[in-house]
């Protein structure tokens, strides 16, 4: 792994929603670190520092160095809670790691050769990424930053599966994933759906005719009423 991430943390004693809320107002991120057979510890980080580190996509799949005072501990990110509408980190869950214990982690899948793929360049198809990350198991020293899948030879209406992923030495995926062997990427024909608006001119014409006819009938009735009124008036005068 090319990127190294060092985070400076502070211990915190107060817990609970109220305490976490106060920390956030102070520009801190509440966190917890657990695992490796030790008791969980409540920590806090500088919010802006964490936010900057999160801009690097490899942060999520890397081994972090957590420094508390003069001690350092290797850990991985297990969960990050974000505010639904603000650019704010609410909480971080970290898992301690030790060199001789395997870890499970979600690793991104990078697809290579999309534009040059046979099904795209010759077949005119479109690439559909059905999986963008996969859980792997390995020792910390073998943890890859990402997995690469070359799809340049993939033809139209073809797929690649979990079993097609070339895994680095020491890296495994679970037996369940291998048995299910889900599709991870496919190339299919682009189908354009053209919606045509059908204007019923005859219906519109009929509607206009009906309206004109009603207006004419109404006018006729008014004329008839006027004639009747005039006739009655003449008789009255006579």
pLDDT tens readout for residues 120-133? 999 999 999 999 99
Q: What are the residue boundaries of the structural domains of the chain, listed by start? A: 5-98, 104-189
Find out whether 117 and 187 touch, Cβ atoms under 8 Å: yes
Q: Are strands 133-138 and 158-161 parallel, antiparallel or unpaired?
A: unpaired
- Between CA 44 and CA 14 the distance in angstroms is 11
DSSP secondary structure code for residue 213 in this structure: H
Nearest to 182 by CA among 167, 154, 201, 161: 161
Q: Does the predicted TM-score (pTM) go above 0.75?
A: no
Q: One fold for both 5-98 and 104-189?
A: no
Percent of the chain with pLDDT over 70: 79
Q: What is the pLDDT of residue 204?
A: 52
Query: Any idea which architecture 5-98 has in CATH?
Result: Beta Barrel (2.40)
Contact in structure between 187 and 119 (CB atoms under 8 Å): yes
pLDDT in tens, 41-94: 999 999 999 999 999 989 999 999 999 999 999 999 999 999 999 999 999 999
Fold category of 104-189 in CATH: RNA Polymerase Alpha Subunit; Chain A, domain 2 (2.170.120)
Contacts for 59 with CB less than 8 Å, ≥ 6 apart: 3, 5, 53, 77
């Amino acid at each position: 792994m090319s990127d190294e991430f060092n985070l400076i943390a502070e211990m915190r004693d107060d817990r609970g929603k109220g305490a976490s809320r106060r920390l956030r107002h102070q520009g801190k991120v509440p966190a917890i670190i657990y695992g490796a057979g030790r008791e969980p510890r409540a920590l806090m980080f500088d919010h802006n520092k964490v936010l900057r580190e999160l801009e690097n996509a490899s942060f999520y799949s890397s081994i972090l160095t957590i420094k508390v005072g003069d001690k350092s501990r290797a850990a991985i990110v297990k969960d990050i809670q974000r505010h639904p509408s603000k650019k704010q980190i609410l909480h971080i869950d970290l898992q301690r790691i030790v060199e001789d214990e395997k870890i499970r982690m979600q690793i991104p899948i990078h697809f290579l050769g999309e534009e040059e793929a046979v099904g795209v360049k010759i077949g005119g198809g479109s690439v559909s990424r059905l999986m963008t990350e996969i859980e792997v198991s390995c020792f910390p020293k073998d943890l890859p930053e990402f997995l690469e899948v070359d799809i340049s030879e993939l033809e139209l209406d073809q797929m690649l599966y979990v079993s097609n992923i070339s895994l680095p030495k020491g890296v495994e995926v679970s037996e369940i994933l291998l048995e299910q062997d889900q599709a991870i990427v496919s190339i299919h024909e682009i189908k354009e759906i053209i919606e045509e608006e059908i204007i019923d001119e005859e219906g519109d014409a009929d509607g206009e005719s009906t309206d004109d006819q009603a207006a004419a009938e109404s006018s006729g009735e008014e004329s008839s009423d006027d004639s009747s009124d005039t006739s009655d008036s003449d008789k009255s005068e006579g």
